[in-house]
Chains A and B, each alone.
Chain A
Amino acid sequence: MTSLNIAIAGALVLLGVGLYGLLIMRNLIKIVIALQILGKGAILALVAAGAISGQTNLGQSVAVTLIVADTVVAVVGLALAVQVRRRFGSLDVNELSTLRG
C-alpha cells in the first residue's frame, strides 16, 4: 500500500466518521468535533489530490490555508456552544427547537 493510498483511505474514513458523528450527536460540542473531523478529511483529500496531479506544492499550500479557515469555524462554533450552555443550561441541540414553521 503506497502512502497515497493511505492518504485517500484516511480521508474517506475521516469523512465517514464526521458525517456519522453529525447525524447521531446531540451535544453541540460533539457536533463541532464532528465538523472538525469532516474538515480534516477534506484537508487530507486536498493534499492527496495535490499528490495525484503532481502539484504537491499547490495542494499543500491550499491545505495550510484550509486549516486556518477550519479553525475559525471551530472557534465560532465553540463560542456559540458557550452561549447556548449559558442560555439553555444544556448543550443538547434538541432543546434548540423553538423556531418553527
Chain B
Amino acid sequence: MNTVIPVSLIVLPLVSSPLTYFAGRLLPRQTALARTISLLALLGAWLVFALVVRDYTAPVEFRLEGIVFRVDGLSLLFAALALALGTLAVIFSGPYMAGKTGEEKYYALLLALTGTMIGLACAADLFNLWVWFEAMVVASYLLVVFYREKSASLEAAVKYLVQSAVGSVLVVLGIALVLAQTGALDLDAIRAAGTSPLLLVAGVLFLIGFGVKIAIVPLHTWLPDAYSQSPSPVSAVLSGVVTKAGLIALLRALAALAGFTLSWSAALMLFGVLNIFTGNLLALRQRELKRLLAYSSMSQIGYILFGLGVGLYVGESSGLQGGLFHLLNHGLMKGLAFFCAGALLYAAGRINGNEHALKIDDLSGAARRYPLLALALTLALLSLGGVPPLAGFMSKWQIFVAGVGTGESLITLLVIVAALNSVLSLAYYLPVINVLFRETPSALIERGRTLPLAIIIPIIVLAAALLLVGLWPDALTWLTQPASAGLLAAFGG
C-alpha cells in the first residue's frame, strides 16, 4: 500500500486543527466556518480510513527518520472509534457550544484530540507512543477546563493534570529502564532483546503510568470530576475514546516486554474485576446523571481489562476479541449516554458550565416531552447493564464465555463475580430509566426547549448502532478480529 494514505489519516485532523482555529479567529462572530472546516476534515479522514481499510491486507509500516509507525488491526479499530465519536461530537457541539467564548479553540482541540489518538494507535516505538499520549493528554486537559470561569471545572482540571503528569513521568522512567536494558525503543527490537527483571519493573511503571488514564482503581479519583465537569460532547469523547487510548498504549508497551505475558494477564484480570466492583459501588450512591455515568465507565473499563486479561492468559483470541468488542461497544453506549445527558442539559438551558447540575430527579417525566431521547437513553443504559439483545450484552457474553472456557476455577470464579456485578449495575441503571418514564414531569422538563436536529442526529445514529450490533454481533468482527489476532501475535501467544 502507498504510505501516503495511512500518513494522511493522522496528518489530516492535525493540520486542520490550526486551520479551524484561525478560521474562527478571522471571522469572530462566524464560528460556523470553523465548525464546517472541522467537520470536513473529519469526513476527509473517514474517506482516507475507508481507503486504508479497502487496501488493508497486512500491517503497513512507515518510517520518518528513526520514528516508526505501523498501521495494524488495532490501529484501525481504534481509529474507527476515535473518528466515529469525534465526528458525532463535532455535529452535536454545533448547537451545544454555539456562542461560547473560545468556540474556535474548542473545535481545534477536538480535532487535535482525534488526530493525536489516531497517531497513538499507529505508533510503533516506545517514545513515539509516549509523545502521542502526552499530546493527547494536553488536548484533553484544555477541553476539560473549557469552562474556565467555573470553579468546579478548574478543580476537576487541577486534579486531572497533577495525576496525569505524575503518570507520564512514571511512563518515562519505564522507557528509561527499557532503553538502559535493551538499547532500543522500537517495540519489535525490544521484544527481540529478551527478558530481564528490569523489564518487569518497567512494565509495572507502564501499568501505573498509563493506568492513571485508564482509571485503574486506586488511580481513578480524577475521573468522575473530569467527566462530569467537561462539556457533554467532550465527556462522550473522553469516556468513549480517550480512556481507551491509555489502554491501547498500555497494551502496545506491555506487548513489547516479552516473557511476562502471564504476569500482565493476571494483573489485567485482577484490576478488571476490582474496577468492575468499585465502579459499581461508587455509582450506586450517585444522584447526578453525569457522575453516575462516569463511575459506570470505570466498571465498564473493568470488563474490557478482564476480557483482555483472559485472552492473554490462555493465548486465545476469543477473550481478546471480546475485550476489544466491548471496547467498541462501550464507546457507542457511553457516547450515547453522555450525548443524551448533554441533550437534556441543552433542553434545560444549563449548558453554561453547570454541567454537574443535572440531577437524576430532574429527568422525571422526560419520556412524555422527549420520547426519542428517553428511548435512546433507556437503550444506552440497558445496554450498559448488559441486557440482551443489545450490544453491551453481546460483548460481555463473549468475555464471560472466553473466561469460563479457560477451564481454570479461579477465572471461572472471577467470571461469576463479574456477571453478578452486571446485575448489580442494573441497580443504578434501572432507577434512572424508571424516573424517565414517570407521569409527572419535573420543572426542568416542563420548561425544556425543543431539541435541534444536530443534537438529535448523533443520538439516533448511536442508538441505531447499538441495536444493530446487538442483533447482528458480527457487524464489528471485521475490526475486532484482525486487531485481536495482531495483539495476540504481538504478545507472542
Contact = CB atoms under 8 A, between A and B. Distances in A.
B155 interface: yes
Contact of A42 (B141, B142, B172): B172
Nearest to B286: A101
Contacts of B172: 39, 42-43, 45-46, 66
A84 B180 contact: no
Nearest to A52: B180
B176 A76 contact: no
Given A72-B138, A87-B151, A99-B225, A38 B169 contact: yes
A35 B141 contact: no
A53 B179 contact: yes
A48 B151 contact: no
Contact of B155 (A15, A31, A77, A97): A97
A59 B179 contact: yes
Nearest to A82: B148
A13 interface: no
B165 interface: yes
B156 interface: yes
B162 A22 contact: yes
B131 A65 contact: yes
B148 to A, nearest CB: 5
A83 B152 CA distance: 12
Contact of A76 (B141, B184, B224): B141
Contacts of A53: 179-183
B155 A50 contact: no
A83 B145 CA distance: 10
B242 interface: no
B26 to A, nearest CB: 24
A42 B166 contact: no
Contacts of B180: 48-49, 52-53
A19 to B, nearest CB: 8
A6 interface: no
B175 interface: yes
A15 to B, nearest CB: 8
B357 interface: no
A7 to B, nearest CB: 11
B256 interface: no
Contact of A87 (B131, B154, B177, B229): B154
Give the interface size bracket for A toward B.
35 or more
Contact of A98 (B138, B155, B173, B286): B155
A96 B158 contact: yes
Given A42-B173, A96-B154, A76 B179 contact: no
Contacts of A59: 179
Contacts of A46: 172, 175-176, 179
B185 interface: yes
Interface residues of B, number: 46
Interface string A10-40: 0000010010001000001001000100110
Contacts of B93: none
A15 B177 CA distance: 14
Contact of A80 (B152, B161, B224, B229): B161
B142 A101 contact: no
Given A58-B185, A84-B158, A65 B169 contact: no
Interface string A57-79: 01100100110010011001100
B151 A54 contact: no
B291 interface: yes
Interface string B78-99: 0000000000000000000000
A49 B162 contact: no
A93 interface: yes
Nearest to A8: B180
Nearest to B181: A53
Given A55-B183, A65-B127, A72-B138, A39 B169 contact: yes
Contacts of A76: 138, 141-142, 161
B9 interface: no
Contacts of A52: 180
B169 A77 contact: no
Contact of A62 (B127, B142, B152, B291): B127
Interface of B: 66, 127, 131, 134-135, 138, 141-142, 145, 148-152, 154-159, 161-162, 165-166, 168-169, 172-173, 175-177, 179-185, 224-225, 228-229, 285-286, 291, 356
Given A38-B166, A62-B127, A97-B155, 17 more contacts: A41-B169, A42-B172, A42-B176, A43-B172, A46-B176, A49-B177, A49-B180, A50-B179, A58-B179, A62-B185, A69-B134, A76-B141, A77-B161, A80-B161, A83-B149, A98-B151, A99-B228
23 contacts: A15-B173, A35-B165, A38-B169, A39-B172, A42-B169, A43-B172, A48-B180, A49-B180, A50-B179, A53-B183, A54-B183, A55-B183, A58-B185, A72-B138, A73-B161, A77-B165, A80-B157, A83-B145, A83-B154, A84-B154, A96-B158, A99-B156, A99-B225
Those 6 A-B pairs whose CB atoms lie nearest each other, nearest first: A53-B183, A49-B180, A42-B172, A49-B176, A49-B179, A45-B176
